[in-house]
Amino acid sequence: MTWQRFCDYLTGIPSVGLTLDISRMNFTEQWLEEMETRMQEAFSEMAELERGSVANRDEKRMVGHYWLRAPELAPLGLGAEIEATVSAVKKFAAGVHAARHYTDVLSIGIGGSALGPMFVADALGHPSTDKLRLWFLDNTDPDGIARVLAQIHGRLEQTLTVVISKSGGTPETRNGMILVQNAYRNCGLDFARHAVAVTMHGSALDKQAVAENWKARFEMFDWIGGRTSQTSAVGLVLAALQGLDIDALLEGARLTDAATRNPVTRQNPAAMMALMWHHATNGKGEKDMVVLPYKDRLLLFSRYLQQLIMESLGKQFDLDGNVVEQGIAVYGNKGSTDQHAYVQQLRDGVNNFFVVFIRVLEDGGSTLEVAPGIRAGDYLDGFYLGTRKALTEKARQSMTITVPRVDARSVGALIALFERAVGLYANLVNINAYHQPGVLAGKEAADEVLKWQVELLSALTREPQSPAELAPETPPEAAYLILEHLAANGRARKTGDSPSTAKFSLPD
């Protein structure tokens, strides 16, 4: 890689101080020229989406996360609703802070209702500046829920609970809410007086919040998907309560959106990044994306990107109905922890990946020298440069996103950059980035399993029986596994040492 190549292909967004270096990706100038026509088509398709076309054809809805930070671009008068929501969020958070009653916020949500808020809270929070402490329940694991509740034990009276679910029927969120309601009740507290709903107007959760007179309700718009909801009420309510600068978060995203609408491909970092994903994976997901931010505050970014990228791009069919089995697998850690984790394989093992480094220029923290002329942050930057060099020496491709610091503005910019790159890449490979039929299939399968469980529980007697005897219509493996779980939790009694000899009965 040459200095000239670095200079030629460095692009960025001056208004937010972000740059993208793709010089260590193994593309050619000829390849870029060959992709230009398709890229221009992708820009046109993206422009149609922003004008309000029905981009999610399965659910017959628009896709409008870009309008959240530029309400003036929203069609159908939606801009006023967006502005009213942001204003209501600020007013509510200010009132909570002024009252000085609450010390903690408990968020209950999953997927896009948790990953974005968790990332932003960790990236921008600090014990010395946070106005309220944030806790998250993002699963239906009763042990995990108990662990979080134990950490706020004795403070539920001072804990505001925010329940986030677009449909209001997400099982994991509903289960967490029921257990939290019970915890409030056991403390002699009225859950509704401490509860906030973020959901779609008219949803089951919205109706419950109205009926029980919850403390507050905020609308999650129908045209916002979970994985692109961080700049909606989903993310803004929690960020505002924590005391983060939501105006700066929105501004960073807005400026990045404006820059990445630019149809001049070489001047558009989101377009160049989407093209690099296409080149690295042959437009077919043939390589994984490894996200390595060299900053502790960005540790959760790879988890956030897993959903944004994999749920958006992991599709069986293209827009013409052809079976394509698209997607890009995403995983990541943080630098320099990766030096002691999987960089060994990245450098010397199977070459089935490309790396997205994220570099932060300002160190923050202590300025103490740990060696003459060397600070701790110098080591961190040195490890980034060294790792990049070591990978390049073995023909391992990488690109680097650089931001000046981790603040609300740069975090908003990173979120918007990847949202745009995902949309453009989906256009390049002709898939729908805004639906998730596989997620629905998994939920339906889980519902079927729970139905089998109810049937098995009702079939248990004092007489030990095999899974097949208890439920002849249920697949035997599934019946055994359900019964094994019930027995482990004292809800059935198991005899026999193997699946073939196991019998189950009512517990003693």
Summarised one tens digit per residue, pLDDT across range 496-507 is: 999 999 999 999
Strand 353-360 and strand 159-164: pairing?
Answer: unpaired
Confidence of residue 168 (pLDDT cuts 50, 70, 90): confident
Examine the fold and report which residue of 435, 460, 475 is the final residue of a domain before the chain moves on: 435
Same domain? 113 vs 155: yes
pLDDT of residue 132: 98
Strand 288-293 and strand 195-199: pairing?
Answer: unpaired
Q: Is residue 307 one of the residues assigned to a domain?
A: yes
Same domain? 136 vs 258: no
Same domain? 276 vs 382: yes
User: Which residue out of 60, 126, 153, 340 is catalytically annotated?
Assistant: 340
Is 48 one of the catalytic residues? no
pLDDT of residue 83: 98
Peptide bond into 398 cis (omega under 30): no
Same domain? 211 vs 313: no
Same domain? 456 vs 412: no
Is 393 one of the catalytic residues? no
Same domain? 94 vs 172: yes
Tell me if 133 sits within 8 A of 322, measured CB to CB: no
pLDDT of residue 440: 77
pLDDT of residue 432: 95
CATH of the domain at 175: 3.40.50.10490
Mean pLDDT across 479-499: 97
pLDDT of residue 57: 75
Q: How far apart are CA 233 and CA 68, in angstroms?
A: 10
Q: Is residue 232 one of the residues assigned to a domain?
A: yes
Q: Is residue 489 one of the residues assigned to a domain?
A: yes
Tell me if 39 sits within 8 A of 422, measured CB to CB: no
* Tokens 């859950």 sit on residue: 191
- Residue 396 CB partners (closer than 8 Å, separation 6+): 346, 347, 351, 353, 354, 355
pLDDT of residue 118: 98
Question: What's the mean pLDDT when you consider all of the chain?
Answer: 96
Give the burial class of 33: count Cβ atoms within 10 A of its Cβ; 0-12 exposed, 13-18 middle, 19 or more buried: exposed
Same domain? 169 vs 310: no
Mean pLDDT across 197-224: 97
Q: Is residue 402 one of the residues assigned to a domain?
A: yes
3-state SS, 13-67, equals: ECCCCEEEECCCCCCCHHHHHHHHHHHHHHHHHHHHHHCCCCCECCCCECCCHHH
pLDDT of residue 41: 98
Confidence of residue 491 (pLDDT cuts 50, 70, 90): very high
pLDDT of residue 56: 76
Same domain? 283 vs 181: no
pLDDT of residue 375: 97
Tell me if 134 sits within 8 A of 300, measured CB to CB: no
pLDDT higher than 90, residue 490: yes
Same domain? 225 vs 256: no
CATH of the domain at 486: 1.10.10.10
Q: Is residue 360 one of the residues assigned to a domain?
A: yes
Q: What are the beta bridge partners of residue 12?
A: 19
Phi and psi at residue 4, in whole multiples of 5°?
Answer: -65, -40
Q: How far apart are CA 55 and CA 391, in angstroms?
A: 39
pLDDT of residue 443: 82
pLDDT of residue 416: 98
Q: 51-101: per-residue pLDDT in tens?
A: 999 987 777 889 999 999 999 999 999 999 999 999 999 999 999 999 999
Q: Who wins on pLDDT, 157 or 338? A: 157
Confidence of residue 335 (pLDDT cuts 50, 70, 90): very high
Nearest 5°: the CA angle 230, 232, 234 is 70
Q: Is residue 60 one of the residues assigned to a domain?
A: no
Q: 425-462: per-residue pLDDT in tens?
A: 999 999 999 998 888 788 888 899 999 999 999 999 99
pLDDT of residue 439: 82
Q: Which domain, by its residues, includes 69? A: 65-244
User: Which residue out of 219, 251, 311, 419 is catalytically annotated?
Assistant: 311
pLDDT of residue 423: 98
Examine the fold and report which residue of 412, 435, 458 is the final residue of a domain before the chain moves on: 435
Q: What letter represents residue 47's amino acid? A: A
The set of long-range contacts for 383-390, using a CB threshold of 8 Å and a minimum separation of 24, is: 383/294, 383/335, 383/336, 383/339, 384/294, 384/335, 384/336, 384/357, 384/359, 387/292, 387/335, 387/336, 387/338, 387/339, 387/343, 387/357, 388/24, 388/355, 388/357, 390/343, 390/347
Mean pLDDT across 110-135: 97
Closest CA to 355 of 443, 420, 236, 273: 273
pLDDT of residue 27: 98
- Count of domains in the chain? 3
Mean pLDDT across 166-181: 94
Tell me if 406 sits within 8 A of 124, measured CB to CB: yes
Q: 404-430: per-residue pLDDT in tens?
A: 999 999 999 999 999 999 999 999 999
pLDDT higher than 80, residue 314: yes
Same domain? 126 vs 196: yes
Mean pLDDT across 290-301: 97
Mean pLDDT across 40-54: 96
Strand 374-375 and strand 369-371: pairing?
Answer: antiparallel
Is 101 one of the catalytic residues? no
Examine the fold and report which residue of 376, 406, 435 is the final residue of a domain before the chain moves on: 435
User: Which residue out of 97, 131, 443, 494 is catalytically annotated?
Assistant: 443
Measure Cα distances from 495 to 4, 53, 471, 507 in Å.
Answer: 72, 60, 17, 11
Q: What are the beta bridge partners of residue 494?
A: 504
pLDDT higher than 90, residue 276: yes
pLDDT higher than 90, residue 44: yes
Same domain? 322 vs 345: yes
Tell me if 461 sits within 8 A of 492, measured CB to CB: no
Residue 198 CA, chain-centre distance (Å), reads: 17
Q: Is residue 57 one of the residues assigned to a domain?
A: no
Closest CA to 236 of 400, 87, 374: 87
Same domain? 458 vs 358: no
Q: Who wins on pLDDT, 1 or 305? A: 305
